[in-house]
A and B are shown apart, each in its own frame.
Chain A
Amino acid sequence: MPDILQIKNVSKKYSNHVALNDVSLNIAEKAVFGLLGPNGAGKTSLIRIINQITGPDSGEIFFKGEKLTQKHVERIGYLPEERGLYKKMSVGDQVLYLAQLKGLHKHEAKKRLTYWFEKFEMQSWWKKKIEELSKGMQQKVQFIVTVIHEPELLILDEPFSGFDPINAQLIKNEILELRKKGATVIFSTHNMGSVEELCDNIALINKSEKILDGSVKEIRKANRTNTYKISFKGNLLGFTNALWTGGEILEKHTEDDIHSVTLKLTPGVSGTQLLQAILPICEIHSFNELIPSMNDIFIMKVNQGNGAVGTQSNYTE
């Protein structure tokens, strides 16, 4: 896949802190890209630079190979983290206005708005003022504003904060559908669950620097810790003996003479070797490699960056 965005050595300083320090990123077309990082890492600064709300102090950005300029904003849809609408303006007028600012003609904007209103079953809201709508309803309107001009690049900053689970699911489905139609989605979040569910690629930013990027699958693979979880019936002592120096048991518990053991293999020992060693002495019920979740990787990398000791994390299967 070619890249829709190439960010090259972008830096941005404010008077008393550095927001971005020499960040380079490539964002592949027609994929969902997760921009991760703790609060204050510089995600929003980067997003604002991509939206040309602010300019970088140095560095360049290319949109489909062209240098990013003001004319590209019409091909970008942006849902900011701090989002709102005019309280006293009617829903219809408001969306039409914002769509026209994105370069749509009034007639076309009206047609598309009708489509979205039907899709979300909100035809009756057209004349309502925003202040009459519930928060969930406002969020739907905000989402429509973001996508109505059918942007090639969709940037969502913390899209699920404040959404109720039903709306969040609705928006998730829409995001996936838009990707299917060929849009690229950049999405900045803390919600690691949704990252694994939605993102193809990610970049992790901490303290204004990029510390990790790549595809989600590869990152998880690369961060394997050689940890396995095994459930078996048989002698626990025999199991330990069979393991010998091949690994270290992190956790064990027994229920109805079925033992569950979480263990970390010594470097150089593979899962297959472990399996071969224990197979003769016990009846294996399950055998799983524990691959770290994005959440774990996130915490680990950020803590490494901050010089703190890695916290004990929960592994998922």
Chain B
Amino acid sequence: MRKIRLIIGREIKSKLKNKTFIIMTILAPLLITGFLAFMIKMTQSEKTEQNVLVIDDSQLFKDKLVGNDYISLSFTNQKLEKAVAEFTEKGYSCLLWISPTVVEGGAGAIKLFYKKSPGFAFQTYVKDQMERIIYESKLKANNIDPNIISNSKQSIKIILEKVNDKGSTQEQASFGLFGFLTGALMFMFILMYGMMVFRSVMEEKTNRIVEVIVSSVKPFELMLGKIIGVAILGTIQFLIMGLITFILTTALSAIFLKDASSQLKVFETQQELVKKNGTNVNFNELEKFDDKLELFDLLKKLQKIDFLEVFICFILYFIGGYLFYSSIMAAIGSAVDSESDSQQFITPVMIPLMIGYFIATKTIMDPDSSTVFWGSIIPFTSPIVMMSRITNGVPMWELLLSLSILFVSFIFTTWMAGKIYRTGILMYGKKTSWREIGKWLFYK
């Protein structure tokens, strides 16, 4: 045991002294949160001040087309040519021209002149409003009350409730994307640390130090020490990354989502009111949040995720999946003599991991298909696929079955890897084949 401890210690120390490792540990969370912040920023519409001059030759929109907190509209009767030449000097950011024939539609009925693009959100805002105004005016022309129409429209949302074994139901977050992301993270982690073991084994072999070491410790102890060392290192790295990400996201959500979550509360109370009263009293209040609906949906789904369950499963599947793959990686690392040969051996190991990744993408669309089920049971893909399923609610027996198969399999792969490793590390100068590796299994 003392020797395994020494090996584990060296493995950890040598990596902790490695600059790229330290940089990665700090940089990765920054990238992740940066990406998250970017995503959130994208869902929130940009609010550039827009001061718009409107020439309404159709006389349809005056007093009906209105601005909001960052868009202000001023109507004028100037000639178009003159206005186009002058609007920037007068302090307007763009000029909106509406042709007299706008009601008949057609391209070119409305033109927006600008020097600096006002952005897509602005265009949608103006366009939606104008379409509604035209729609209402046409209805009025036919003596139809627009209120009747708008009250007849009802949007619905399907809420998924999964019936579990005991017959009780539970509202599903059905947040496929989140599941997929944890699955993808698992894929990345297993691959990253598996490769670390592979490199470490190969380094010792190509450095020719391995024979000195195995004259002091059993090859199996060396392999185990290495695998455990990298596992501890991985856990440390994961915790550090997790902590940094947690701090950063908390800080970020305090900045970005503070408005959103308070707005969400307002939105929900408004929704309740609409449900109760069934009137259109608060209809405009609700409409104010139209552009935030996506963000609200995201927030609500996030609130429903059982992060503790996800975390515990992640750790368990990471340990199982890592041990399963890293022992295979150690075995093939011992078989190759140089970096250039390694590709042909790594590829076959990568394939089941990639398959797991693809099944995880399938989980988003079709979480209860049989491919996904078997993918989450078979140990080659189960760590990735099960993680992608976890937010959809997985029955306990499936979890236990999948985990126990995974743990039994890793004992088997470690045992097998030990046999291959023992012979492989001492094979120099020969090009190894899969057949050769197969034979090593049976050496005494």
Contact = CB atoms under 8 A, between A and B. Distances in A.
B215 A86 contact: no
A98 interface: yes
Given A53-B211, A53-B426, A101 B14 contact: no
Nearest to A145: B212
Contacts of A48: 426
Interface string A29-57: 00000000000000000001001111111
Interface in A78-133: 78-80, 82-89, 97-98, 100-103
Nearest to A57: B444
B214 interface: yes
A225 B3 CA distance: 54
B14 A51 contact: no
Contacts of A101: 3, 6-7, 213, 216-217
Contacts of A312: none
Contacts of B426: 48, 53-54
A15 interface: yes
A77 B218 CA distance: 15
Contacts of B283: none
A73 interface: yes
A100 B208 contact: no
A139 B230 CA distance: 30
Contacts of B215: 51-53, 73, 76, 78, 80
Contacts of A134: none
Contact of A98 (B216, B439, B442): B216
Interface in A53-67: 53-57
B439 A102 contact: no
A2 B213 CA distance: 29
A244 interface: no
B430 to A, nearest CB: 11
B334 to A, nearest CB: 13
Contacts of A53: 211, 214-215, 219, 426
A55 B443 CA distance: 9
A100 B3 CA distance: 8
Contacts, number: 71
A272 interface: no
Contacts of A55: 444
Contacts of A102: 216
Contact of B14 (A56, A85, A88): A88
Contacts of B14: 86, 88-89
A97 B209 contact: no
B389 interface: no
B207 A85 contact: yes
Size range of the interface on A?
20 to 34
B209 A84 contact: yes
A101 B1 CA distance: 11
A103 B216 CA distance: 9
B439 A15 contact: yes
B218 A70 contact: yes
Among B10, B14, B442, residue most surrounded by chain A Cβ atoms (within 10 Å) = B10
A97 B10 contact: yes
Size range of the interface on B?
20 to 34
A303 to B, nearest CB: 26
Nearest to A130: B207
Contacts of B217: 101
B212 A80 contact: yes
Contact of A73 (B208, B216, B442): B216
B226 interface: no
Contact of B422 (A14, A54, A57, A142): A54
A148 B443 CA distance: 33
A82 B208 contact: yes
B443 A87 contact: no
A87 B14 CA distance: 11
Nearest to A84: B208
Contact of A84 (B10, B207, B439): B207
B428 A82 contact: yes
Nearest to B208: A84
Contacts of A88: 14
B444 A85 contact: no
Nearest to B18: A88
Among B6, B7, B207, B423, residue most surrounded by chain A Cβ atoms (within 10 Å) = B207
Contacts of A57: 444
B6 A86 contact: no
Nearest to A76: B215
Contacts of B219: 53
Contacts of B214: 51, 53
Contacts of A52: 215, 218
Interface of B: 3, 6-7, 10, 14, 203-204, 207-209, 211-219, 422-423, 426, 428, 439, 442-444
25 contacts: A15-B439, A15-B443, A53-B215, A53-B426, A54-B423, A73-B216, A78-B211, A78-B212, A79-B212, A83-B211, A83-B212, A84-B208, A84-B209, A85-B207, A85-B209, A86-B14, A87-B207, A88-B14, A89-B14, A98-B216, A101-B3, A101-B213, A101-B216, A101-B217, A103-B216
Interface of A: 14-15, 48, 51-57, 70, 73-74, 76, 78-80, 82-89, 97-98, 100-103, 142, 145
Question: 8 closest A-B pairs (Cβ-Cβ)?
Answer: A84-B208, A80-B211, A101-B216, A78-B215, A84-B207, A51-B215, A15-B439, A82-B208
Given A74-B216, A83-B208, A83-B212, 4 more contacts: A53-B215, A97-B10, A98-B212, A142-B212
